[in-house]
Amino acid sequence: MNRYLLHIAWFDVALIKRNLTSLQRAMEYSIDPIDIVLVLNEQTFIDSPAAGEPKDMWNYFIDHPLIPKCTLIKITNNDAFTGVSRVRRDFRSKDGFTIWGESDTILPLEGLYIAETFHRQHKERPYVMTFATRKMWPGWELIEHPLFVDKSLDTLDPNIPEQDVMRFGGKLTEEWLYDFNDKQGDPEIILLPRPRIEGALTILSEGMPEPLLCPTQDFIGEDFCLQMAMEFYGIPQYHVKNILKGHDTANPNKRTNVSQEKIKHGYSTTGKERKEKEEVEMFNFIRSLYNSKGIKI
């Protein structure tokens, strides 16, 4: 069965009702059943709550009407360290596509219907599908929406709402996203000349070769690892170039109930060390893949 897979850290709970509501609305246009798997991460290896316990944080969204249709998997300090990378590696569907949900991301209304229709009609396996992004940094033009690709973050004024919303880190609302996509006409799906992955709402078909992702990469960086593995294995990336995903990277509700000091610095000392360690392990994994065919990188 196709799967919507979402890792939820206890400190990102204030984002989840909007995420689930966007999924619920997209399901109204869906043509296939979908398995919704929410991985609720209570671990405090990186950060601890400023008040209360991680398990209390689920009250932010546990009453959402979609919850009874979800499979809930809890991860605690008694389990091995788990981050989004481990979840996306180890919890993929074996008999359908897997959508990499992200807490701060709104699904396009058309998202499930497009993915399901393509999956039914396109017999090639494996493949990866992606949706367009807003304006990012140099080097990401391949996956930016055509209306934004010629813009620049240097000239888009964050103080002008009409320009700010075009920026990857600009303020984003569901209403704006739905209205924007509604004006784009029929979905335009293209085969990209090379992989380019920004993790949110990346869709992986079943039948992926293994190893696909670094087996020791549990924290972050799985999107880059996937991109490099796709290039190695020759996995095609089909890109819905005119339908925008709602990756709301600057949402102020991120990292709820975490001390201001850790918010300021982004990572705790433990998190910084783990990030650096896993980056080394990821690059070693990628090198080992390529070296297995005599390709030096």
**Band of pLDDT at residue 264, cut at 50, 70 and 90:** low
Q: With respect to residue 85, please indicate whether it lies within any of the assigned structural domains.
A: yes
**Band of pLDDT at residue 266, cut at 50, 70 and 90:** low
Residues 199-248: tens digit of each pLDDT: 999 999 999 999 999 999 999 999 999 999 999 999 999 999 999 999 99
Q: With respect to residue 151, please indicate whether it lies within any of the assigned structural domains.
A: yes
What average pLDDT does the structure give for the chain?
A: 96
Entry pTM: 0.96
Residues 101-148: tens digit of each pLDDT: 999 999 999 999 999 999 999 999 999 999 999 999 999 999 999 999
Query: What average pLDDT does this structure show over 161-172?
Result: 96
Whether 32 shows a pLDDT value over 90: the answer reads yes
User: How many structural domains compose the chain?
Assistant: 1
Using a pLDDT cut of 70, give the percent of the chain over it.
Answer: 97
Q: With respect to residue 206, please indicate whether it lies within any of the assigned structural domains.
A: yes
Residues 3-14: tens digit of each pLDDT: 999 999 999 999
Give residue 90's pLDDT: 98
- Sign of the Cα torsion 164, 170, 172, 178 reads positive
35 closest CA partner among 84, 110, 95:
95
**Structural domain that includes position 96:** 2-291
Q: With respect to residue 296, please indicate whether it lies within any of the assigned structural domains.
A: no
Give residue 270's pLDDT: 81
Give residue 261's pLDDT: 64
Q: Which helix (H) or strand (E) holds 6?
A: strand 2-9
As to burial, measured by CB atoms within 10 angstroms (0-12 exposed, 13-18 middle, 19+ buried), residue 68 is exposed
Using a pLDDT cut of 90, give the percent of the chain over it.
Answer: 93
Residue type for 255, please? R
Q: With respect to residue 297, please indicate whether it lies within any of the assigned structural domains.
A: no
Q: With respect to residue 33, please indicate whether it lies within any of the assigned structural domains.
A: yes
Q: Which two tokens stand for residue 5?
A: 């897979």
Q: Are 276 and 219 in contact (CB under 8 A)?
A: no
Whether 262 shows a pLDDT value over 90: the answer reads no
Task: Report the CATH number that the domain containing residue 127 is assigned in CATH.
Answer: 3.90.550.10
Give residue 267's pLDDT: 64
